[in-house]
Amino acid sequence: MAVSEQQRLSYISAQAADARLAVELQTEEMTLNLGPQHPATHGTLRIVAKLDGEQVVKADVICGYMHRGYEKLTEVRTYPQINTLINRIDWLSSFANEVPFILAAEDLMEVEAPPRAQWIRTLFFELSRIANITLFIGEMGVQLGAITPVFFAFRDREYVLNLIEEATGGRFHPNFDRIGGLKDDLPKGWIAETKEAMRRIRGYCDELEDLLMGNEIFEARTRGVGVIPADVGLSYGLSGANIRASGVDWDLRRDAPSPLAWKELDWKVWTHPDGDSFARYWVRLQETREATLMVDQLLDGLPSGPIQAKVPRIIKVPAGEAWAHTENPLGEMGYYIVSQGGLGPFRVKIRSASFHNISIVPWLLKGVYVPDIITILSSLYFILGDIDR
């Protein structure tokens, strides 16, 4: 499973040869702008790379092209309105964005959602994880030139999106979590459909394992590329699958206290010792499968009961400060709410995973070849809405 010594040495010797050639030929550096409009960056991210031949000498990440001013917006909105808006931070796994905010607000109001609500929240959280990561698994293929897996991703993701639509009314932006519980209960027949959908997603994971992960060309393109040592990753604040692929066994679902139902389930945290792009892909594929198994367990053990605790009609959160964080599909996401009483918060700080994940890009891109820039960026997996908020 580890990167073969021969591959690693051949990559290093190729880079050394290029560096020697550069010194001998004294060629001029070229500035390549992987600009805001580019198929490789997932959205409007700009990377200014100084190239020497095909090697990157220095890379700068310029984000902010999609800044929508979320934290300022939250200062002039009420809690239900903010819940609607924050769905759109990481738009692929929107339910997962609502959860830490609601947990922080419930912390301040000292309200606890009933167990059925917590279990269904966990259910939707894992469903949004599946919706998000299945797209990554297909989309990394596109960045590397395999155009077929992404269509399978969209085809099989539809099952999950349809499930979310049946229960909440919205495919991408469910707006389902409420302080004290959830908006509605599950419609009839949903549990059976979800089990069927999870079976399909597992089939999709198997298909992608055959099509892409087992492919020798894919391995040659990703093994040994973009290696992040564990200590460097931790010092840059990486989270999620990025750090688990470097061997760090850290998952907030297991390691941080949370009222959601993860502790009740029997599941496994996947890590990989290599820290290269292949490891990040592998970890996410396993996590998707694990998420489907968790969904099955949640469906089997769903407690009955009310879906919403007693909260006043007009929500006024008492003064105080609260922090809540969860293991979102992209990494660790957290909200720090400062409240001074009132209908809306005084200030909300949003800690989004991708913003910290891409902080390692300048360090990581030094010395890599141009095609590998694409591999590394796509393996880090960021969503622009998450970076820029």
Partner 1 sequence: MPDIPGLAKGLGVTFKTMITTWTKGAVTVQYPHEKEDLAPRTRGVIALKEENCTVCMLCARECPDWCIYIEGHKEKRPPRREGGKPRTVNALDRFDIDYALCMYCGICVEVCPFDALFWSPEYEYSESSIADLLHDKDKLGEWMVTVPDPPALEAGAAKKK
Partner 2 sequence: MRMLAIELSYWPLTLIKTAIVLMVIPAAAVILGYVFLLKMMAHMQSRMGPMEPGGYHGWFQLIGDGIKFIQKEDIIPSEADRRVFAIAPLVVLVSTFLLYIVVPAGPRLVVQDLDVGIFYALAVSSLSVIGILMAGWASANKFALLGSLRAAGQLIAYELPLVLAVVGVVIQANTMSLQGIVHAQADGAIFGFGLIGNPFILTQIVGFGIFLAAAQAELSQSPFDMPVAESELVAGYMTEYSGFRFLFFFMAEFGTAFALSAIAATLYLGGWYQPFFKTGIMADVMGPVVLGAKIMLIAFLIFWIRFTFPRFREDQLQTFAWKFLIPLSLVNIMVTAVFKVVL
Q: Which residues bind partner 2 (CB under 8 A)?
A: 14, 30, 32, 38-40, 54, 141-148, 151-152, 155, 211-212, 215, 217-218, 220-221, 369-374
Q: Which residues bind partner 1 (CB under 8 A)?
A: 77-78, 80-81, 84-85, 116, 148, 152, 155, 158, 162, 165-170, 173, 175, 183-191, 207, 210-219, 302-307
39 binds, among partner 1, partner 2, none (CB under 5 to 8 A by kind): partner 2
Which residue's CB is nearer to partner 2, number 62 or number 192? 62
- Residues β-bridged to residue 332: 327
185 binds, among partner 2, partner 1, none (CB under 5 to 8 A by kind): partner 1
Cα–Cα dist 71/69, whole Å: 6
Chain centroid to CA 65:
20
2 binds, among partner 2, partner 1, none (CB under 5 to 8 A by kind): none
167 binds, among partner 1, partner 2, none (CB under 5 to 8 A by kind): partner 1
Q: Name the amino acid, one letter, at 372.
A: D
143 binds, among partner 1, partner 2, none (CB under 5 to 8 A by kind): partner 2
- Cα angle 75, 84, 253; round to 5: 95
Q: Which pair of structure tokens corresponds to residue 29?
A: 């550096």
Q: Which residues of 174-195 are buried (b: 16+ CB within 10 A; e: fewer)?
A: bbbbbbbbbeebbeeeeeeebe
Q: Tokens 């089997």 map to which residue?
A: 300
> First vs last Cα of the chain: how many Å apart?
37
Residue (of 200, 212, 154) closest to 296 by Cα position: 200
- Cα angle 26, 28, 34; round to 5: 140
Cβ contact 222:282 at 8 Å:
no
CB of 245 to partner 2, least distance (A): 19
Cα–Cα dist 226/246, whole Å: 11
Which residue's CB is nearer to partner 2, number 117 or number 150? 150
Cα–Cα dist 220/214, whole Å: 11
Cα–Cα dist 81/30, whole Å: 47
246 binds, among partner 2, partner 1, none (CB under 5 to 8 A by kind): none
CB of 207 to partner 1, least distance (A): 6
Cβ contact 89:387 at 8 Å:
no
| DSSP collapsed to 3 states, 77-124 | CCHHHHHHHHCCCCHHHHHHHHHHHHHHHHHHHCCCCCHHHHHHHHHH
Which residue's CB is nearer to partner 2, number 151 or number 363? 151
293 binds, among partner 1, partner 2, none (CB under 5 to 8 A by kind): none
142 binds, among partner 2, partner 1, none (CB under 5 to 8 A by kind): partner 2
Cβ contact 315:79 at 8 Å:
yes
40 binds, among partner 2, partner 1, none (CB under 5 to 8 A by kind): partner 2
